[in-house]
Amino acid sequence: MPIQTPESSNTSFFAKTIPNTLALPCQADHAFVLNDESELLVLQSALMPNESYKVIGSASNLVLPSHLHDRVILVALQGIEVIQEDEASALVAVAAGQSWHEWVQIALAAGWHGLENLALIPGTVGAAPVQNIGAYGVEVSQNIEHVRVWDFDAGAIRQLSRKDCQFSYRESLFKQPQGQRLLILSVCFRLAKRPAWRPVLDYPDLKSLGADGALVTPQMVFDRVVAVRRHKLPDPKDTPNVGSFFKNPVVNQATVESLRQRYPDLVAYPQADGSQKLAAGWMIDQCGWKGRRLGAVGMHHRQALVLINAENAQAADVLALADAVKKDVLETFWVTLDIEPNCWI
């Protein structure tokens, strides 16, 4: 079925308040709401050649300033298209403005599996490949076949393969300079169907589902991930946040061995290339930041990796706390933390 999108009345840029899950006050001086791909030529003509712009889905992974002076494109494209399906897998294209968690639910109900570990991550489908979102041992890039984009330099739609997207841990082409003139329109997923699907249960929160993965169903994985996330992570609707605020740092084996001499309980996860991924939340907790505030912001009392807006914070408050946490972790563990959300400050 073709991707269905609502009719659009948008023709130009206009001033707009930008809602965001961190609840920071932000006003865009020039915003364009993209509801339909038929508007792409209008959008192209509204931008000056080589003019910079920002792209926003649900603003669930952004630290925003009080004013955005650049042009802002708000992606509201909706719809799902089944391209190919057989007994083993399905190839499905999903529009960039679709809610990520709703898409995971739809895929699960349709019998298309592989995204269960990524349930309840806030944001849109179009934002997922930008950050190469990941959780509980799964990265979205593992299930991406290709990404359709609008190339502003060429004035045309392009299709990028998984390799073209240059995915790595929380990174992609779309975060690099050469990807800044590409607007994601849809993402094509190749998802397994049972019995070809295999659960990923490497993380402690999922191991209790059972040692025999053959007895675990996709619904069981989905339900557990949702339950764990709801227990550990605050709902942005109630407690403004952008989820994990820092990346889990990846270090070599020698660094882990050295750290374990001082911190026997150090939490680290072996990676396929021989490196180890450290648990940033554990280190932040050891530094005393779990549940601690600095002015209008703080680190959440159940998950030290989550920075929350506790009381009408501004972007400067967020960055001040981030700097303080990074400083303490560096002084304690000699490990540098990188901020995970995009900071447009």
Active-site positions read 170, 244, 340
Phi-psi region of 210 (alpha: psi -120 to 50; beta: other; left: phi over 0): left
Give yes or no for a contact between 292 and 42, defined as CB atoms under 8 angstroms apart.
no
Cα 19 to Cα 29: distance, rounded to the nearest angstrom: 14
Alpha helices in the chain (DSSP H): 40-46, 100-110, 128-131, 204-207, 218-232, 253-262, 280-286, 315-333
Residues 6+ apart with CB under 8 A from 79: 2, 3, 4, 5, 94, 95, 98
Burial annotation 224-233 (CB, 10 A radius, 16+ → b, else e):
bbbebbeeeb
Give yes or no for a contact between 56 and 73, defined as CB atoms under 8 angstroms apart.
yes
Residues 6+ apart with CB under 8 A from 256: 266, 268, 276, 278
Alpha helices in 6-59 (DSSP H): 40-46
